[in-house]
């Protein structure tokens, strides 16, 4: 594909840069205005910061130096974050900057993939700009999380495979391995890719060997890290979150999850592109070929994998965020086909205007949601970590089911009651008796918990261990009492 040059080629780059810079300023400005200091919108974001800081300081990717832990779901992301600590750069600004760069790279890949898919520069550019304006992708870019790193790598795998099959096996294999080092879902992408190439008979024995050799290096490093931490090549979070949220195969719950997942994929500007997305998928069902086929299969495959293994949507559905660029691209491509068939230029103009207005509106609402999420984490998890520092002597063992900010600010030995960082509790908070046993065996003096998140666990702490409440996080009145974090003293 020839890349446009001259002023015509620079205009979309300038437009994208201005859009991304303005959106970044809006999100960070609203967060700072509400909180006074900014921060991160998830406790999990602080887990990555803790792992990165300890990696830079001690060479160990752990929550507490010297203590075996297994919370490295995304070791590649933690490694990139550690660069800030090695170089003495502001770690939060570095994390947000990486996220913004990943969003820009995602938009660029969508543009390139759009040109391959449709040969229509207008379609490709519209989809790319919508990626930069999509409020959940912006939220993810400034969350300090690994979401958009995996998005970039998965898009790169799909674009390479759909356009060149395995003609560059070393590159394709390397991208697959890196995607799995960025998120465990990369393993599902590897399986889908293998099936795709075999069904198309698009890979020779030599190419397959080169592809696997390139992929195995990052995969082996991640497996060795996990083995050293909890004796399994897969991350402990892979099992702990399944134990906490899956609860066995339930057809009703699976169908409910699939419906909610569909709503996640059409909650932003994608809502106006639903007819086009349906038209595109219907066309693929008829032909079952073309570069868009792998996109459709990945969207369905990742959603199905979560429906079976982790049927839980939270944090605005962030586990499905890597599918949003594809939904935008296929939706725009299908909408263009639909409008060409209808031949109603006024409808096309009205649709473009409505899409711009809705993207702007959802962007502002997304910035508000981001600021509120940052404020809540500051008022609960960060506040409780600072309470621990001020109110307990060094060496006091603390139990909690959210250990991100606590690990970063608290400086105390931890028991992760959710099982993400404590290998002994991989069964998670569902096994209340085992949690209570480990809490007692490790001599935890305080437990931090939110009553409504795991009611049996909270009841076990207060009744089984006779823990008494000593402090409650002061948060917005809009937060129900049962959603407020409690600090419990364990006798």
Phi, psi of 27, rounded to the nearest 5 degrees: -65, -50
Residues paired with residue 414 on neighbouring β-strands, in sequence order? 398
Q: How confident is the model at residue 2 (pLDDT cuts 50, 70, 90)?
A: very low
What value does the mean pLDDT take over residues 249-270? 81
Number of Cβ within a 10 Å radius of residue 309: 17
What value does the mean pLDDT take over residues 125-139? 94
Look at residue 420 in the predicted model and tell me its pLDDT: 79
Q: Which of 36-50, 75-89, 234-248, 381-395 has the lowest mean pLDDT?
A: 234-248
Q: Chain-wide mean pLDDT for the chain?
A: 87
Contacts of 60 (CB under 8 A, 6+ apart): 54, 66
Token pair listed for 326: 């594809």
Contacts of 15 (CB under 8 A, 6+ apart): 129
Q: What is the pLDDT of residues 4-47, one digit of tens each?
A: 445 555 777 888 889 999 999 999 999 999 988 889 999 999 99
DSSP string, 427-448: TGGG-HHHHHHHHHHTT--EEE
The answer to whether 380 and 149 have CB atoms below 8 angstroms apart is no
Token pair listed for 448: 């931090």
Higher-confidence residue of 249 and 336: namely 336
What value does the mean pLDDT take over residues 112-137? 91
Identify the CA nearest to 136 among candidates 147, 126, 120: 147
What is the percent of the chain with per-residue pLDDT over 90, rounded to a whole number?
Answer: 47
387: exposed, middle or buried (C-beta count within 10 Å: 0-12, 13-18, 19+)? buried
HEC assignment per residue over the chain: CCCCCHHHHHHHHHHHHHHHHHHHHHHHHHHHHHHCCCCCCCHHHHHHHHHHHHHHHHCCCCCCCCCCCCCCCCHHHHHHHHHHHHHCCCHHHHHHHHHHHHHHHHHHHHHHHHHHHHCCHHHHHHHHHHHHHCHHHHHHHCCCCCHHHHHHHHHHHHHHHHHHCCCCHHHHHHHHHHHHHHCCHHHHHHHHHHHHHHHCCCCCHHHHHHHHHHHHHHHHHHHHHHHHHHCCCCCHHHHHHHHHHCCCCCHHHHHHHHHHHHHHHCCCHHHHHHHHHHHHHHHHHHHCCCCHHHHHHHHHHHHHHHHHHCCCCCHHHHHHHHHHHHHHHHHHHHHHHHHHHHCCHHHHHHHHHHHHHHHHHHHHHHHHHHHHHHHHHHHHHHHHHHHHHHHCCCCCCEEECCCHHHHHHHCCCEEECCCCCCHHHCCHHHCHHHHHHHHHHCCCCEEEECCCCCHHHHHHHHHHCCCEEEEECCCCCCCCHHHCCEEEECC
Q: Which of 203-217, 224-238, 252-266, 314-328 has the lowest mean pLDDT?
A: 224-238
Provide the phi-psi class of 58: left if phi over 0, else alpha when psi is between -120 and 50, else beta: alpha
What value does the mean pLDDT take over residues 432-450? 93
Q: Tell me the C-alpha distance between 244 and 121, whole Å.
A: 45
Number of Cβ within a 10 Å radius of residue 25: 11
Token pair listed for 105: 């790279």
What value does the mean pLDDT take over residues 387-401? 94
| pLDDT above 60 for 3 | no
Q: How confident is the model at residue 1 (pLDDT cuts 50, 70, 90)?
A: very low
Look at residue 270 in the predicted model and tell me its pLDDT: 85
What is the percent of the chain with per-residue pLDDT over 70, rounded to a whole number?
Answer: 92
Q: Which of 29-43, 174-188, 211-225 has the lowest mean pLDDT?
A: 211-225
Residues paired with residue 398 on neighbouring β-strands, in sequence order? 414, 446
Higher-confidence residue of 18 and 233: namely 18
Look at residue 291 in the predicted model and tell me its pLDDT: 74
The answer to whether 466 and 366 have CB atoms below 8 angstroms apart is no
Q: How confident is the model at residue 50 (pLDDT cuts 50, 70, 90)?
A: very high
Q: How confident is the model at residue 101 (pLDDT cuts 50, 70, 90)?
A: very high
The answer to whether 212 and 173 have CB atoms below 8 angstroms apart is yes
Token pair listed for 302: 């990742």
Q: What angle do CA 403, 404, 407 make, to 5 degrees?
A: 75
Order of all β-strands in the sheet with 486-489: 414-416, 398-400, 446-449, 486-489, 468-472
User: CA dihedral defined by 150, 154, 156, 161, rounded to 10 degrees?
Assistant: 160
Q: Which of 120-129, 132-141, 411-420, 427-436 has the lowest mean pLDDT?
A: 427-436
| pLDDT above 80 for 312 | no
Q: How confident is the model at residue 338 (pLDDT cuts 50, 70, 90)?
A: confident
Look at residue 70 in the predicted model and tell me its pLDDT: 65
Strands 468-472 and 414-416: unpaired
Higher-confidence residue of 84 and 266: namely 84
Q: Tell me the C-alpha distance between 138 and 324, whole Å.
A: 12
Look at residue 342 in the predicted model and tell me its pLDDT: 82
Q: How confident is the model at residue 78 (pLDDT cuts 50, 70, 90)?
A: very high
What value does the mean pLDDT take over residues 121-139? 93
Residues paired with residue 416 on neighbouring β-strands, in sequence order? 400
| pLDDT above 90 for 328 | yes
Identify the CA nearest to 184 among candidates 327, 319, 41: 319
The dihedral built from the CA positions of residue 454, 459, 462 and 465, taken in this order, carries a sign that is: negative
* Residue reference for tokens 């096309």: 348
Q: Which of 21-30, 191-200, 247-256 has the lowest mean pLDDT?
A: 247-256
| pLDDT above 70 for 246 | no
Q: Where exactly are the structural domains of the chain?
A: 7-245+344-371, 372-489
């Amino acid at each position: 594909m020839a890349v446009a040059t001259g002023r015509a080629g620079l205009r979309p780059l300038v437009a994208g840069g201005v859009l991304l810079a303005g959106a970044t300023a809006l999100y960070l400005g609203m967060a700072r205005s509400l909180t006074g200091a900014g921060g991160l919108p998830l406790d999990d974001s602080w887990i990555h910061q803790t792992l990165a800081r300890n990696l830079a300081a001690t060479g160990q990717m752990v929550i507490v130096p010297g203590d075996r832990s297994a919370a490295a779901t995304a070791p590649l992301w933690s490694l990139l974050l550690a660069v800030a600590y090695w170089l003495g750069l502001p770690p939060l600004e570095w994390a947000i900057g990486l996220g913004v760069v990943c969003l820009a790279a995602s938009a660029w890949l969508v543009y390139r993939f759009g040109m391959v898919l449709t040969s229509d520069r207008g379609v490709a550019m519209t989809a790319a700009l919508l990626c930069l304006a999509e409020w959940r992708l912006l939220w993810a870019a400034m969350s300090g999380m690994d979401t958009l790193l995996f998005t970039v790598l998965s898009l790169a795998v799909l674009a390479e495979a759909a356009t060149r099959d395995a003609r560059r096996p070393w590159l394709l294999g390397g991208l697959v391995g890196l995607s799995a080092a960025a998120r465990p879902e990369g393993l599902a992408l590897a399986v889908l890719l293998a099936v795709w190439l075999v069904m198309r008979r698009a890979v020779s024995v030599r190419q397959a060997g080169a592809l696997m050799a390139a992929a195995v290096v990052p995969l082996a490093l991640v497996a060795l890290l996990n083995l050293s931490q909890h004796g399994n090549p897969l991350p402990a979070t892979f099992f702990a979150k399944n134990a906490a949220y899956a609860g066995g195969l339930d057809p009703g719950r699976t169908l409910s999850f699939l419906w909610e997942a569909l709503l996640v994929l059409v909650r932003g500007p994608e809502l106006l592109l639903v007819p086009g997305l349906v038209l595109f998928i219907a066309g693929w069902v008829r032909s079952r070929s073309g570069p868009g086929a792998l996109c459709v299969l990945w969207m369905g495959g990742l959603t199905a994998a979560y429906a079976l293994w982790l049927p839980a949507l939270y944090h605005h559905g962030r586990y499905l965020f890597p599918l949003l660029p594809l939904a935008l691209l296929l939706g725009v491509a299908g909408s263009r086909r639909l409008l060409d068939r209808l031949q109603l230029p006024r409808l096309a103009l009205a649709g473009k205007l409505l899409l711009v207005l809705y993207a702007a509106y959802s962007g502002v609402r997304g910035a508000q949601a981001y600021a509120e999420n940052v404020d809540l984490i500051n008022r609960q998890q960060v506040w409780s970590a600072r309470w621990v520092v001020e109110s307990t002597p060094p060496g006091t063992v603390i139990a909690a089911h959210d250990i991100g900010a606590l690990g970063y600010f608290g400086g105390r030995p931890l028991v992760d009651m959710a099982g993400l960082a404590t290998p002994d509790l991989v069964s998670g908070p569902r096994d209340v008796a085992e949690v209570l046993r480990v809490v007692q065996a490790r001599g935890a003096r305080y437990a931090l918990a939110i009553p409504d998140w795991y009611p049996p666990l909270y009841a076990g702490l207060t009744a089984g261990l006779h823990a008494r409440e000593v402090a409650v996080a002061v948060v917005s009145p809009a937060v129900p009492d049962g959603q407020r974090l409690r600090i419990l003293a364990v006798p």
